[in-house]
């Protein structure tokens, strides 16, 4: 598991090319710096568990798919270092998944598992990233609210004068850490002025955190 933690910096380009827009990239600077300093000695129970869940979200059929997605040669996946032209032994992968992965971790998207992993590896940097995004989007197209009791996520469109209904922000993904939000808000859902929402349940004694990604900006929220 330490091999996974030492490779945290290799995850950065892959994850943030997906969830960080070009005009938000300045917010990722503290996270990038933190990930570059991660070492195997930083491994602990929580980050190791998150790293395992991260691997459980992989859906690669061979080494080249993993490398093409952004992981580098030498990163350990299912106990095997990646190499060009390498293949995974299905029986070995199935055995690894049966031993290490719950059903929920296997159903979790790669982006969500990656986000959870990074929160464990570099929580301070992730908070700085979230605070920066919130500040940048304070006058943006979307506003988010997350409550714990009762648990609910609400996303609203800050519609400006003259904007047509077709300009409504479209949800691309909703990433939930330390809880669940169900039913999920499907990709492509248009955010309304009155609010688009869903019930959420937080894990006991953990802060519920949600990152909403739309085609008009990001919106991270936390319910303590």
Rounded distance between C-alpha atoms, residue 221 and residue 131, angstroms: 9
> Which of 190, 183, 185, 182 shows the shortest CA–CA distance to 157?
190
pLDDT score, position 175? 84
Q: For the domain 137-223, what is the CATH code?
A: 2.60.40.10
CA distances from 104 to 54, 56, 156, 180 (A): 12, 9, 29, 11
Per-residue pLDDT tens listing for the chain (224 residues): 333 333 343 444 444 444 444 444 566 666 656 555 543 333 344 456 777 777 888 888 899 988 776 667 887 788 888 899 999 999 999 998 899 888 877 777 666 676 677 777 777 777 777 777 667 665 579 999 999 999 999 999 999 999 999 999 999 888 888 899 999 999 999 999 999 999 999 998 888 888 888 888 888 888 87
User: b or e along 57-77 (b: 16 or more beta carbons within 10 Å of the residue's beta carbon)?
Assistant: bbebeebeebbeeebeeebbb
Is residue 202 within 8 Å of residue 208, measured between CB atoms? yes
* pTM assigned to the model: 0.57
Measured from the Cβ of residue 145, the count of other Cβ atoms closer than 10 Å reads 14
Q: Is 120 left (phi over 0), alpha (psi -120 to 50) or beta?
A: alpha
pLDDT score, position 182? 93
Rounded distance between C-alpha atoms, residue 213 and residue 198, angstroms: 15
Collect all residues with Cβ–Cβ distance below 8 Å to 103 and sequence separation of at least 6: none
Coil, strand or helix: which one is 36? helix
- Every domain of the chain and the residues it spans: 2-128, 137-223
Facing residues of 81 across strands? 76
């Amino acid at each position: 598991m330490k091999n996974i933690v030492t490779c945290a910096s290799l995850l950065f380009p892959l994850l943030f090319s997906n969830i960080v827009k070009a005009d938000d990239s300045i917010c990722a600077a503290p996270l990038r710096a933190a990930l570059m300093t991660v070492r195997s000695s930083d491994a602990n129970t929580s980050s190791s568990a998150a790293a395992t869940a991260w691997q459980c979200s992989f859906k690669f059929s061979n080494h080249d798919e993993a490398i093409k997605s952004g992981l580098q040669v030498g990163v350990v996946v299912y106990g095997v270092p990646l190499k060009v032209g390498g293949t995974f032994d299905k029986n070995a992968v199935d055995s690894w998944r049966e031993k290490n992965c719950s059903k929920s971790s296997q159903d979790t998207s790669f982006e969500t598992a990656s986000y959870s992993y990074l929160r464990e590896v570099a929580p301070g940097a992730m908070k700085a990233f979230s605070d920066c995004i919130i500040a940048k989007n304070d006058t943006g197209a979307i506003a988010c609210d997350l409550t714990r009791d009762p648990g609910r996520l609400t996303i609203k469109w800050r519609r400006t004068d003259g904007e047509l209904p077709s300009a409504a922000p479209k949800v691309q993904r909703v990433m939930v850490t330390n809880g669940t939000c169900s039913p999920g808000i499907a990709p492509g859902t248009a955010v309304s002025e009155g609010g688009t929402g869903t019930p959420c349940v937080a894990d006991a004694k953990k802060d519920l955190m949600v990152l909403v990604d739309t085609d008009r900006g990001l919106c991270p929220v936390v319910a303590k």
